[in-house]
Amino acid sequence: MNSTDRMQYQIRLANILVKAGKNKRYYHSLQVAQMAEDMAKRFGLDADKAYLSGLLHDIARSLPTNQLFYLAGLAQIPIKEIYWGNPALMHAPVGAYLLQRDFGIEDQEILASVRNHTLGAPQMSGLDKIIYLADMLEPGRKWQGIEVLRELADRDLDIAMKEALLQSIDWLKEKGKRLDSQTLEAYEYFCKLVAKKDI
């Protein structure tokens, strides 16, 4: 993907987000794209795919709840119980659907990384991990302990994912929010993986 292609995707995204008054989300998307590209280069993964997934991961984030449910219906996305209480989480699978439908993106790795960026999943691909982590750690993000996780993400994606998922689970518990079984399964998966690495 050359710089003209990149710019075209940026313009399309800006048309959607900036027009909707979501300048901050557009800026966040650019930051995630940049960080995902840097991480891909560090870990020997496809930097263009990482950039594109990062840029477009929140394509459905600004849609109202009724649109999310409508599009989920069209895309035959199973409505998990957690979506009723927190419909915004659907922006991940709905985003993957829109990228395929409206942007003509057929790359399954890209679509999966967008689909998995809110709940996580067991056996995440390298690209899935990068997008999940870049979304959480891009330079605009600020929360206590972020530096520790950024350092981990520089060194080992699996260890960083284990800690990132734990961070998400703790945050949900603290806020009294529901935890989806997929997130817990993802956390258990990375716990086992990391434990094996230590042997």
Q: How many residues bind Fe ion (CB under 5 A)?
A: 2
Between 6 and 22, CB nearer to Fe ion: 22
Query: Cα–Cα distance between 42 and 129 in angstroms, integer?
Result: 13
Query: Which of these ranges, 62-70, 81-89, 132-140, 169-177, lies near Fe ion under the rule CB under 5 A?
Result: 132-140
Closest approach of Fe ion to the CB of residue 40, in Å: 17
Q: What is the CA radius of gyration of the chain?
A: 16
Give the x-and-dash track for 49-88 against Fe ion (CB under 5 A). Answer: ---------x------------------------------
What's the closest the beta carbon of residue 106 comes to Fe ion, in angstroms?
21
* Nearest distance, CB of residue 91 and Fe ion, angstroms: 6
Near Fe ion by CB under 5 A, which window of 34-42, 71-79, 135-143, 163-171? 135-143
Length of the chain: 199
Pick from 135, 133, 164, 171: which is nearest to 61 by CA? 135
Which amino acid does the sequence have at 101? R
CA distance 33 to 56: 8
Position among 135, 138, 163, 180 found at the interface with Fe ion (CB under 5 A): 135
Q: Using the rule CB under 5 A, give the single segment among 46-54, 82-90, 134-142, 146-154 that binds Fe ion.
A: 134-142
Tokens of 38: 């840097």
**Tokens linked to 29:** 């998307």
The answer to whether the CB of 131 falls within 8 A of the CB of 50 is yes
Piece in contact with Fe ion (CB under 5 A), picked from 41-49, 70-78, 107-115, 128-136: 128-136
Residue 25 Cα distances to 34, 55, 195, angstroms? 14, 10, 36
Site string for Fe ion, 136-165 (x = CB under 5 A): ------------------------------
Angle between helices 157-174 and 126-137 (to 10 degrees): 50
Q: Closest separation between CB of residue 61 and Fe ion, Å?
A: 5
The DSSP call for residue 89 is G
The residue among 135 and 180 lying less far from Fe ion, judged by its C-beta, is 135
Contacts with Fe ion by CB under 5 A lie at 58, 135
